[in-house]
Amino acid sequence: MRIERMAVYTANLEYTGKAYAFAGGRSHQVFETTVVALSTDTGLEGYGEVCPCGPNYMAAFAEGLPSCLSLLAPEVLGQDPRQVSVIQERMNQALTGQAVAKAAIDIACWDLLGKACGLPVYTLLGGLQSPSMPLHRIVPLADPGEMEESLLRYRAEGFRHIQIKLGHEVEEDIDLIRRLGKLKQPDELWIGDINGAWRRDQSLRFSKAIEDVDIYLEQPCRSYEECLSVRRRTRHLVKLDEAFNTLNELQRGLRDDAMDAIALKVSKFGGLTPSRIIRDVCADAGISMTIEDAWGSGIATAAYAHLAASTSPRALLNTTDLHNYNKVQLATGAPEVAAGRMWLSDRPGLGVVPDFALLSLRDVYE
């Protein structure tokens, strides 16, 4: 099997809510997503999708992805997509960093590998260990009344894992969590996501003021060192996200006992090939994971859902259904969602097919 053609598509994903807002004044209503389609000499096609959460969240932005993909295309054309580690190495030799662009190609290769074998990707990633995956729902940053309404709505829809965006002034967030904390039910798991907005003293003030509320603190400070300092002095569980972008950084965190959980975003690490290593290292170390991505439609959701489904329930904290955060669905066959949980089909590959009528062709490489 050889890759004969790589097509790059883009589309806009409009958020279903009022605004997707989080710390630092960051707020988005529309996200540009990038879909890669790899065609082979066997007639099989594989699909990958990446969608940075706006230009100011991670080390990638949508407008830059086509340029990166133009440099990566010559390295993958003519190659066997089933050799996922070979493809990853060729991309790393051709372009330093830019993990998100590489992830689009890597995910499409895994889709092809599954289709070539006649197996769902989760089987190739280790087997179906979590057939029914717990979902979290994000409560975007807003005034307290709106956030309370969102929380109650998600609970009514069956979600028991709630991620609350923080990033007001610290005293305001203390009041917010005290207010919401009165509503917390014993079977619910809550995460307060600060997205690196606070200094260490602010994080510790917040933690001390709400120490009676059972809640994770996610990425309280911008740098790893600041988060580590908070972790060593807080009573709350600490989850890290933006602090880790490579396996080496994760290994440092394990040596330092820097976290209780992490957010594993597949595109941030470069696709499923490196992410399965991150997953296995964390599982072995007893670190629970939210396995997800920054944003995307049904293709992106399917990719990380296959990784989550092949993860032991002991290690899987939760995942999410990003395709349901958008007003439009760009693919058929996305994972099924009901009562706060998600399931995958047993179709070969990722099990999704793009709706090309909703995609705009950007570039073709042959």
Question: Residue 123 contacts by C-beta under 8 Å, 6 or more apart in sequence?
Answer: 114, 310
pLDDT band for 59, please (50, 70, 90 cuts). Answer: confident
Q: What is the pLDDT of residues 176-224, one digit of tens each?
A: 999 999 999 999 999 999 999 999 999 999 999 999 999 999 999 999 9
- First CA to last CA across the chain, in angstroms? 15
> Structure pTM?
0.97
Q: What is the pLDDT of residues 260-272, one digit of tens each?
A: 999 999 999 999 9
Judge contact between 164 and 180, C-beta under 8 A: yes
pLDDT band for 129, please (50, 70, 90 cuts). Answer: very high
Distance CA 75, CA 132 (A): 37
Distance CA 325, CA 19 (A): 11
Encoded amino acid at 360, one letter: S
Q: What is the pLDDT of residues 147-188, one digit of tens each?
A: 999 999 999 999 999 999 999 899 999 999 999 999 999 999
Judge contact between 152 and 183, C-beta under 8 A: yes
Which of these is catalytic: 102, 115, 239, 265?
A: 265
A 10 A CB-CB count for 258 gives 24
| pLDDT for 261 | 98
Residue 165 a catalytic site member: yes
Which of these is catalytic: 115, 165, 239, 268?
A: 165
Q: Where are the beta strands (DSSP E) in 42-85?
A: 45-50
Q: What is the pLDDT of residues 224-283, one digit of tens each?
A: 999 999 999 999 999 999 999 999 999 999 999 999 999 999 999 999 999 999 999 999
